[in-house]
Amino acid sequence: MSYRKKTVLLVVFLSCVFSLSAQFRIHLEKGSPLAKLSAAELAIDNLYVDSVDENKLVEDAIRGMLDKLDPHSAYTTPSETKELNEPLNGDFDGIGVQFNMMNDTLVVIQPVVNGPSEKVGIIAGDRIVNVNDTAIAGVKMPREQIMKRLRGPKGTKVNLTIVRRGAPAKLHFMVIRDRIPLKTVDASYLIRPGIGYIRLESFGIHSPQEISQSIDSLQHEGMKDLILDLQENGGGYLQSAVEIAQQFLPDHALIVYTKGRRSPREEFHSNGKGKMLKGKVIVLIDEFSASAAEIVTGALQDQDRAIVVGRRSFGKGLVQRPVPFPDGSMIRLTVAHYYTPSGRCIQKPYKKGDLKDYEMDLDHRYKHGEFTNRDSIHFDPSQKYYTLRKHRLVYGGGGIMPDYFVPLDTLQYTAFHRKLLVGNSIYTQTLSYIDNYRKELKAKYPSFSSFRKNFMVPQALIDSIVAEGARQKVKPADDKELQKTIPTLSIQLKALIARDLWGMNEYFEIINEKNHTVQKALQLLAGKK
């Protein structure tokens, strides 16, 4: 490059820099990292040989910085932020249907009770083929695009064209969108006389109210003891975890505390106003239980209020503070650690910037045998802690170790069964069966109790699943493997049919009878070990 051109570029660059605020120039002169970063972005935007997307440039820079930190500090775009927050915010605007896709067509599984679709007469089994003037059936439209068309601001109208079995022509409905609640309690019922069961899917903004209502209802039915199922619960809001833990703990009991480099210790205590201060409590966890689920579990274990059953939890004990931007994007920046009442740090070890190794942790734990053998878990002797009331030994070092270990049953599903699950044969054929026989099933089994007692999975449904698997080149090794698959498959099918005819509560009422962790909890409550 000629001396003249270099001089011109230097002048352009300097003019860009010195056109900025005086404060920026002061930072630059002092060697401020922020000014250096801003100058670099400014130089690329003004001098780089090709055109650049300035927004993407900044987003990549933010991600690059966060990638060098812990595994949970992250940047999300406006759309990603909205998608991330929606399940925890407790509701969204839409038409109010549960649906599934069958043969590239949206089939209504259930309209939300008292929701906008139910109010205009949409029923289970209806096929939505058009949204306003856009065809969504038979066009291979992505699921997220379909949901985008069905959802919209509360009070807005959407015209739906529906095909209904038995109707001579297409039906047309005008639905006024409304707020649709997102429930986080998957199931709540008396699993045995005097024993309640509540399964919480996540810790959303309305979860404390849902748990409170569930406890009220179960106590009204005679509940004395409770199984709180937090298996596969990935967490959510800290405040929701605190409020739920308060349901079980006496006044002034420490629930959790946080502490970070720039965040002083902050403690969260119970208020003594819980609805389940008496009676036995068992908390169920597994390797997917994380964050807020670990806060509740650790609090009840350290305060000797609950027995914990299952497998070691995930080990996510980092506190993220949201840093929102005007465009709707957000940084979730780790500012502190969570600690259980005994002082255990929930967060498992990690290497800064090594996200891949962190993401492979569960795979490493599985290969090491931790999921199937308690003896494969080696505790750090320097991480010994004691519960606060009975002074039982517990260990820190990441995650919550249960009081009673329940191994993962690797033999519960045959290789053939697992392949059918991966190929989606089970779900597609079950949906087709329900679609064909919904009226007959409802007429024959008007109540769930009659269905649970008397329904037997028809051989024709099992045959259709096996045949669909064969079309996907998924076959049992021999007849012995097929016969071994059928009992477990039949229970799963009965639960799936119950879910689509009634709901998630009924699904878990069936599936829990074969869940080893749930059954271990029942044994403990019955005084057996």
Q: Give, for all 529 residues of the chain, the pLDDT tens digit.
A: 454 544 444 444 444 444 444 544 544 555 677 778 778 888 888 888 888 888 888 888 888 888 888 888 889 888 888 877 776 676 778 998 888 887 788 888 888 888 899 888 998 888 999 999 899 988 888 888 888 888 889 999 999 999 988 888 899 999 999 988 888 999 999 999 999 999 999 999 999 999 999 999 999 999 999 999 999 999 999 999 999 999 999 999 999 999 998 889 999 999 999 999 999 999 999 999 999 999 999 999 999 999 999 999 999 988 888 889 898 899 989 899 999 999 999 998 888 877 777 778 888 888 888 888 888 887 888 899 999 999 999 998 889 999 999 998 877 889 999 999 888 889 889 988 998 899 999 999 999 999 999 999 999 999 999 999 999 999 999 999 999 999 999 999 999 999 989 999 999 999 999 999 999 999 999 987 6
The Cα 204–Cα 238 span in angstroms is: 9
Per annotation, catalytic residue among 291, 313, 329, 425: 291
Question: Which one from 302, 361, 435, 500 is the annotated catalytic residue?
Answer: 302
| 3-state DSSP assignment of residue 368 | coil
Nearest CA to 150 out of 113, 119, 175 is that of 175
19 is catalytic: no
Q: Within 10 Å of residue 440's Cβ, how many Cβ atoms?
A: 9
Retrieve residue 524's tokens: 């403990």
- The answer to whether residue 316 is catalytic is yes
Q: 242: Cβ–Cβ under 8 A, 6 or more apart, which residues?
A: 255, 256, 268, 295
Task: Measure the CA–CA gap between 364 and 283, rounded to whole angstroms.
Answer: 25
3-class SS of residue 311:
coil
Q: Active-site residue among 229, 316, 342, 425?
A: 316
Would you put residue 363 in left (φ > 0), alpha (ψ -120 to 50) or beta?
A: alpha
Q: Which run of H or E residues covers position 517?
A: helix 516-525
What pLDDT shows up at residue 14?
44
What pLDDT, on the 0 to 100 scale, is given for residue 87?
67
pLDDT for 276: 97
- R_g of the chain computed on alpha carbons: 28
Predicted local distance difference test score (pLDDT) of residue 12: 44
Contact, 289 vs 297, CB < 8 A? yes
**Residue 91: predicted pLDDT:** 72
Q: Is 240 one of the catalytic residues?
A: no
Find the farthest-apart pair of alpha carbons in the chain and give their distance in angstroms, rounded. Answer: 91
How far apart (Å, rounded) are the C-alpha atoms in residues 59 and 56?
5
